[in-house]
Chain A
Amino acid sequence: MAVEQASGGAHGGSGLDPLHQFAIERIVPLRIFGLDFSFTNSALWMTIVAILASLLMVVGARNRALIPGRVQSVTETAYEFVAGLVRDNAGTEGLRYFPFIFTLFIFILFANMLGMIPGSFTVTSHIIVTFALAILVFVVVTGIGFAKHGTAYLKLFVPDGVPGWLLPLLVPIEVISYFIRPFSLGIRLFANMMAGHMMLVVFASFVLMLGVVGGWLPLIVMVGLNALEVLIAFLQAFVFALLSSIYLNDALHMHH
């Protein structure tokens, strides 16, 4: 029944539109000073992510039982996981910025995981969202670097033990490699989430096209892909937090 309806909606056997799921829809149109401030489906899901993440943390931290219950042990596991990550990669000094990394990790993890629910909207599949997060990390880390080292932080761009005549070539490369960080951080998360979700829809359209006879094979593949996507959803949140703490380490300790 559902298969018939869905394939009826597709155009000329071309299957579903894999990009339709990323469409931004205005839920509450709003214009202020000629700028579009509409409350969109993306904003709605960001709000849901923030509320659910906060709820888990508040409920998990409410009882503070010595022997944790289910929710508390989830919260504690997440806390210890990220705390270990920050300690291993940015040192004990980096733990001062643990709340920042933890917030990033939980937000991205929840956004990715909620995106796995059929019919939901994956916030992190839009490059503007992931890039905004990456720029936030970049600005905060650079700010910490300058606050801690002053203008000496610029020495990060001058490798030691290099003959002077090579510096005009190496300093621009160092500067560019520093500015690549927010781009690679943002592109990685966005590309992984978008590619995965597109692949799911493409395989789903194979199921619809091949019907009851041949549709079982892509259906089996889809089950596997779904499992892979859950793994990637976690992995990308982890990688984002990991790289943020590695960059933090560079800003705090200034050696490569």
Chain B
Amino acid sequence: MAETDGTGQDRGRAASADEAQARERLRAFGRKLDAARRDEDPGKRPGASSSSLLGMAFRIATELVAGLALGGFIGWLLDRWLGTRPVFLLIFIGLGAAGAFVNIFRYANRMHAAARAEADRNAAARVPHKTQGGE
């Protein structure tokens, strides 16, 4: 580890051809690292634990609360300013709820895409394992 680090630094200081070579080696190492990570047991991957599910539940709940609170506040301010209680209060509570739902919907979409990508990766990683085990 120490040796490769030292030689990498020296080459960086030397000619640019060596530098390109070092960079290529670094990139090859990155690819190897990625492949190794993919082969790793997917159950041990961080972030896929129940703690992130807990965070997700909190997130959806607060999104709704924040949407209603913000909408209600804006509506209340407008009403107080224009003296039209309760017209804007009702409109903005509706808009706030809709905005919160938009955020939650996008968040759910993002999570769905992430979960699908994860499932694909796991399926791709499992196939070569099986053929190895069969032989």
Chain A interface residues (CB < 8 Å from chain B): 66, 172-181, 183-184, 187-188, 191-192, 231, 235-236, 238-239, 242-243, 246, 256
Contact = CB atoms under 8 A, between A and B. Distances in A.
Interface in B64-78: 65-67, 69-71, 74
5 contacts: A66-B2, A172-B95, A173-B99, A180-B67, A184-B103
Contacts of B103: 177, 180-181, 184
A246 B110 CA distance: 10
A230 B95 CA distance: 36
A176 B96 contact: yes
B55 A180 contact: no
Given A231-B51, A235-B55, A187 B98 contact: no
Given A187-B62, A235-B54, A239-B58, A177 B69 contact: no
Interface residues of B, number: 27
Contacts of B96: 176, 180
B59 interface: yes
A180 B59 contact: no
Interface in B1-32: 1-2, 5
Nearest to A231: B51
Contacts of B65: 184, 187
Contacts of B5: 66
B66 A176 contact: no
A183 B69 contact: yes
Contact of A177 (B55, B58, B92, B102): B102
B106 interface: yes
A238 B47 CA distance: 10
Looking at chain A's contact residues, is the secondary structure mostly helix, strand, loop, or mixed?
A: helix
B106 A256 contact: yes
A178 B66 CA distance: 12
Given A180-B67, A183-B66, A238 B99 contact: no
Nearest to B106: A256
B89 interface: no
Given A173-B102, A188-B59, A180 B70 contact: yes
A181 B100 CA distance: 9
A79 B51 CA distance: 20
Given A176-B98, A235-B54, A243-B59, 9 more contacts: A172-B95, A176-B71, A176-B95, A176-B99, A177-B103, A179-B99, A184-B67, A187-B69, A188-B59
B111 to A, nearest CB: 11
Interface string B37-73: 0000000000000010011001100110111011100
Given A176-B98, A179-B70, A180-B99, A66 B62 contact: no
Contacts of A177: 67, 98-100, 102-103
Contacts of B54: 231, 235
